[in-house]
Chains A and B, each alone.
Chain A
């Protein structure tokens, strides 16, 4: 049963050795190598970015135009509880993409059943249901959907999830109050309207 781990370990060691060798030659080990060699992750990510077909409510910004692996994302829902708030996220994609899912974190402290107070997002396709045939588009659509239909099952913010299940009017009020920047149940939330 340890076969996989052993094989993987061997592979990782080889990868580390070759990465170290490259780092020695180029003097750095950044994801975009200086000798113009495009990595598989880069190749796939470029395709994903060119094929993006996302609603207007989602905007991507690349703080460093030569780095496709790290960018920012903002979502401005046009309907639902979170209508017209603007939520900022950071997206971090590693060199093992698409074997590893993108890592997405909310930069605002928000009141949402599926996002905890540190900005961690609970979205199945970013975790246990990730598959390399999913692309950036499906991830962004999934994230957008969390704001249209917050999901009280499998919550990260249990208090918010409980309120959503028990009292939808109170949930809507809490969301509005939190989006204006203020306290909900002794917790301070960022202003995002």
Chain B
């Protein structure tokens, strides 16, 4: 028998690499704690999942968020710059995250909170 391939469709799927399943094979269905949408979906302000609405991988802790979601939280002074899940100081690893406007802004917010902390303008519990 001879088969002639007349047409074919390539199919691919993608998933974010999450800090919490880093190194493990397979896919873990997890939600962004802030907007409660799966990580592979978008934050409520975006239309297209993927590079347009990236995830941020926490460095101090193992919590992930849509970068747009964590930005909104860190913009609040009440956030004290803490991770909403574990209340440790939120820092991301620039090595592990793309260079883009969003991540520059994230760095600015993290730095801002750090300065506030150092100046002791607000009381921070450790």
Q: Give the B-binding residues of A (Cβ under 8 A).
A: 1, 3-5, 7-8, 11, 39-40, 43-44, 47, 98-100, 128, 130-133, 135
Contacts and interface: CB of A to CB of B under 8 A. Distances in A.
Given A4-B116, A7-B75, A43 B87 contact: no
B67 interface: no
Given A4-B113, A44-B35, 15 more contacts: A1-B116, A4-B109, A7-B105, A39-B44, A44-B44, A47-B36, A98-B34, A99-B72, A99-B75, A132-B33, A132-B72, A132-B84, A133-B34, A133-B84, A133-B85
A60 B119 CA distance: 44
Contacts of A133: 33-34, 84-85
A3 B45 contact: no
Interface of B: 33-36, 43-45, 69, 72-73, 75-78, 84-85, 87, 105, 108-109, 111-113, 115-116, 119, 121
Nearest to A130: B78
Nearest to A127: B78
A11 B84 contact: no
A4 B74 CA distance: 9
A58 B33 CA distance: 25
A136 to B, nearest CB: 11
11 contacts: A1-B115, A3-B115, A7-B112, A11-B75, A40-B43, A40-B45, A43-B35, A44-B44, A98-B34, A99-B76, A135-B36
Contacts, number: 57
A7 B36 contact: no
A132 B111 CA distance: 21
Given A1-B112, A3-B112, A4-B109, A131 B44 contact: no
Contacts of B121: 1
Given A40-B45, A133-B33, A133-B34, A99 B116 contact: no
B67 to A, nearest CB: 14
Nearest to B74: A4
Of listed B36, B45, B69, B85, residue having the most chain A CB within 10 A: B36
Contacts of A128: 78
Contacts of B119: 1
Contacts of B116: 1, 4
A132 B34 contact: yes
Contacts of B77: 4-5, 8
Pairs of residues from A and B, 9 with the lowest C-beta to C-beta distance, nearest first: A40-B44, A133-B33, A4-B112, A131-B84, A1-B115, A3-B112, A133-B84, A132-B34, A43-B44
